[in-house]
Amino acid sequence: AQSVTQPDIHITVSEGASLELRCNYSYGATPYLFWYVQSPGQGLQLLLKYFSGDTLVQGIKGFEAEFKRSQSSFNLRKPSVHWSDAAEYFCAVTSGTYKYIFGTGTRLKVLA
Amino acid sequence: DAGITQSPRHKVTETGTPVTLRCHQTENHRYMYWYRQDPGHGLRLIHYSYGVKDTDKGEVSDGYSVSRSKTEDFLLTLESATSSQTSVYFCAISEQGTGAFFGQGTRLTVV
């Protein structure tokens, strides 16, 4: 079955520190991969997407993610976290069916 | 922001009553989705549509039905609301190569 795993439910980092959020997927077809961010009471905003090509993709707000097929991973990174990055982050996967499957999310807390 | 409008934004209803949530898009995207979001579960797909009158079930479709008679509108109906359907419901749209874009959500409480 297709699935997405985000192993960290909560992560706390200090402002200015680097960040890595983990995402692993199980998907039989060639995956298309995404990261979304959700602030409290809001909808989800697309941060970045991977369809093919360069395995390191750049997104909005200074985020990047790297697709590693051998590890079935698509981890999200940011070199220096800002207090405004505190939110919940979701990894998602789809393929040619365009049915999006989401992970359970990682809640990021940023310490001043 | 993608042109997606969900209505209503908040609703309280009684157990056993039917409820319909509406999603309207102005982007002419082919694919439309209904998800529910619950703590600890992330977003779970209820139903999705890949064209007018073309729909398919998601992972949590029991107790829900959908209709799409026009490209721009995707309706989600709870046939007989139960307390377990208390949740935040999100509509999303997508097109090939774009990623999914989400509405602001509908908070539904079943009492």
Q: What is the pLDDT along chain B (111 residues), one digit of tens a residue?
A: 569 999 999 999 999 999 999 999 999 999 999 999 998 899 999 999 999 999 999 999 999 999 999 999 999 999 999 999 999 999 999 998 888 999 999 999 999
Distance from CA of B16 to the nearest CA of A (A): 27
Q: Which residues pair with B48 in a beta bridge?
A: B33, B56
Q: A99–B45: do the CB atoms touch at under 8 Å?
A: yes
- Mutation target for B interface from A33, A47, A102, A106: give the one with most B CBs within 10 A: A102
**In the predicted model, what is the mean pLDDT of residues A6-31?**
93
Predicted local confidence at residue B98, as pLDDT: 84
The residue type at B73: D
Write the CA distances from B14 to A78, B24, B60, B61, B74, integer angstroms: 45, 25, 21, 20, 23
Predicted local confidence at residue A108, as pLDDT: 97
- Mutation target for B interface from A46, A47, A50, A57: give the one with most B CBs within 10 A: A46
Per residue in B49-61, pLDDT (tens digit) is 999 999 999 999 9
CA–CA gap between residue B57 and residue A98 (Å, rounded): 13
Residue B57, Cβ density class (10 Å: 0-12 exposed, 13-18 middle, ≥19 buried): middle
**Residue B111 CA neighbour count, 13 Å, CB half:** 4
Cis amide prior to B39 (ω within 30 degrees): no
Q: Which residues of A touch B92 (CB under 8 A)?
A: 44, 100
Q: Which residues of A touch B43 (CB under 8 A)?
A: 44, 90, 102
Q: A42–B96: do the CB atoms touch at under 8 Å?
A: no
Predicted local confidence at residue B2, as pLDDT: 64
